[in-house]
């Protein structure tokens, strides 16, 4: 327990890069490759943040087909999340496709093309101290073969250290998938793969280097979908919200195993490339080269 408190109060900083006027460079790519996470300061401007807020209003008032609003036992605030809302919520579609979001992600991917995988909205209102996020790898939930999904997670509110995400530096490097954690915490995840190793005791592992960063609205964390991360509940008296966009590289293929509906599309079969209406092709290297020449 002492170790857990120690690690949570003194994580190392995530390497950071200011991208207000430029796309991520080779140093940012190297940081992501080595640590499994990187922080992009000023990734999005106030106009983009307002667009996302417009989308939140639509999504939470019935616009999103896949939304959950829960109140955890002993919490007074709402914990809301929504996935794949871009297909119904026009403000999200514009924030994802008609913005610099694809260029920021593509600059970090070692890939000739990039597909949109899904968007994810996460809001922990004040009074959600029990809405903690256990250690997990995003990829453990995906029906995908290959390595090359990045989660681009933008803070919509100031996020101080008390409520910051934590990352286990370098935990993506072996490309080993562990079992998916159940976010409800009381039983196994519905689609758990019990042939995979169980999640190690990261909080009590003195050798695990933990990284975190305080964020301002518009700052973005980008992480590899194999990187272990976790987050505390919201113990503060202010909203803690983020909007994330998950992108897939050309190395990713569909794997036809049981999973959440958000991650599958009827057109996809075992081993197929991702491109379809739900997971559109958004960038190609050829197109990017053509535009810059
Ligand atoms: O912010 C959080 O509580 C969790 C975010 C997260 O784990 C994710 O988006 O994968």
Pick the atom of ligand 1 nearest to 240's CA. 1
Q: Which residue has the higher pLDDT, 288 or 92?
A: 92
pLDDT of 69 reads: 84
Q: Flag whether pLDDT at 62 surpasses 70.
A: yes
Write the pLDDT tens digit of every residue in 144-189: 999 999 999 999 999 999 999 999 999 999 999 999 888 776 666 7
Pick the atom of ligand 1 nearest to 124's CA. 3
In whole angstroms, give the CA distance from residue 248 to residue 149. Answer: 4
pLDDT of 288 reads: 75
Write the pLDDT tens digit of every residue in 219-234: 999 999 999 999 999 9
Domains in the chain: ranges and CATH = 2-272 (2.60.120.620)
pLDDT of 73 reads: 80
CA 181 to ligand 1 center in whole angstroms: 12
| Ligand 1, atom 2, residue with closest C-alpha | 231
pLDDT of 292 reads: 64
Pick the atom of ligand 1 nearest to 133's CA. 3
Pick the atom of ligand 1 nearest to 230's CA. 7
Q: Flag whether pLDDT at 8 surpasses 80.
A: no
Running DSSP on this structure, what letter comes out for residue 146? Answer: S
Write the pLDDT tens digit of every residue in 197-215: 999 999 999 999 999 999 9
Q: Flag whether pLDDT at 6 surpasses 80.
A: no
pLDDT of 216 reads: 98
Q: Are 154 and 223 in contact (CB under 8 A)?
A: no
Residues 6+ apart with CB under 8 A from 293: none
CA 212 to ligand 1 center in whole angstroms: 13
| Residue percentage of the chain with pLDDT more than 70 | 95
pLDDT of 74 reads: 86
Q: Flag whether pLDDT at 64 surpasses 50.
A: yes
Pick the atom of ligand 1 nearest to 242's CA. 1
For ligand 1, pick from 81, 82, 83, 122 the residue to mutate: most ligand atoms within 8 Å of CB. Answer: 122
CA 185 to ligand 1 center in whole angstroms: 15
Average pLDDT, the chain: 93
CA 98 to ligand 1 center in whole angstroms: 24
CA 291 to ligand 1 center in whole angstroms: 34
pLDDT of 9 reads: 56
Q: Flag whether pLDDT at 5 surpasses 60.
A: no
Dump strand ranges (E) for the chain.
12-13, 16-18, 37-41, 67-70, 79-83, 113-124, 133-136, 144-145, 149-155, 166-168, 210-212, 220-224, 229-231, 240-249, 253-254, 281-284
CA 230 to ligand 1 center in whole angstroms: 7
- Kindly list the protein residues whose Cβ atom lies closer than 6 A to any atom of ligand 1: 120, 122, 133, 138, 151, 153, 165, 229, 231, 242, 244
pLDDT of 4 reads: 47
Pick the atom of ligand 1 nearest to 120's CA. 9
């Amino acid at each position: 327990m002492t170790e857990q408190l120690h690690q949570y109060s003194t994580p190392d900083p995530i390497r950071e890069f200011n991208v207000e006027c430029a796309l991520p460079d080779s140093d940012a790519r190297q940081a992501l490759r080595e640590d499994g996470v990187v922080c992009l300061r000023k990734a999005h401007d106030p106009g983009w943040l307002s667009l996302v807020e417009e989308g939140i209003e639509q999504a939470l008032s019935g616009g999103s087909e896949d939304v959950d609003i829960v109140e955890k036992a002993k919490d007074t605030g709402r914990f809301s999340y929504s996935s794949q809302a871009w297909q119904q919520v026009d403000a999200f579609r514009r924030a994802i496709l008609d913005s610099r979001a694809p260029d920021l992600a593509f600059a970090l991917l070692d890939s000739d093309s990039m597909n949109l995988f899904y968007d994810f909205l996460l809001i922990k209102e004040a009074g959600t101290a029990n809405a903690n996020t256990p250690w997990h790898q995003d990829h453990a939930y995906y029906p995908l073969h290959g390595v090359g999904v990045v989660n681009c997670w933008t803070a919509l509110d100031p996020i101080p250290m008390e409520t910051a995400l934590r990352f286990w530096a370098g935990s993506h490097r072996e490309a080993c998938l562990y079992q998916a954690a159940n976010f409800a915490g009381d039983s196994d995840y519905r689609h758990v793969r019990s042939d995979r190793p169980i999640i190690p005791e990261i909080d009590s592992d003195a050798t695990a280097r933990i990284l975190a960063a305080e964020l301002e609205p518009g700052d973005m964390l980008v992480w590899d979908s194999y990187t272990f991360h976790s987050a505390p509940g919201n113990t503060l008296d202010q909203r803690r919200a983020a909007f994330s966009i998950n992108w897939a590289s050309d190395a990713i293929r569909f794997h036809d195993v049981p999973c959440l509906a958000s991650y599958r599309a009827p057109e996809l079969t075992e081993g197929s490339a991702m491109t379809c209406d739900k997971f559109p092709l958004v960038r190609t290297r050829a197109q990017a080269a053509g535009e810059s020449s």
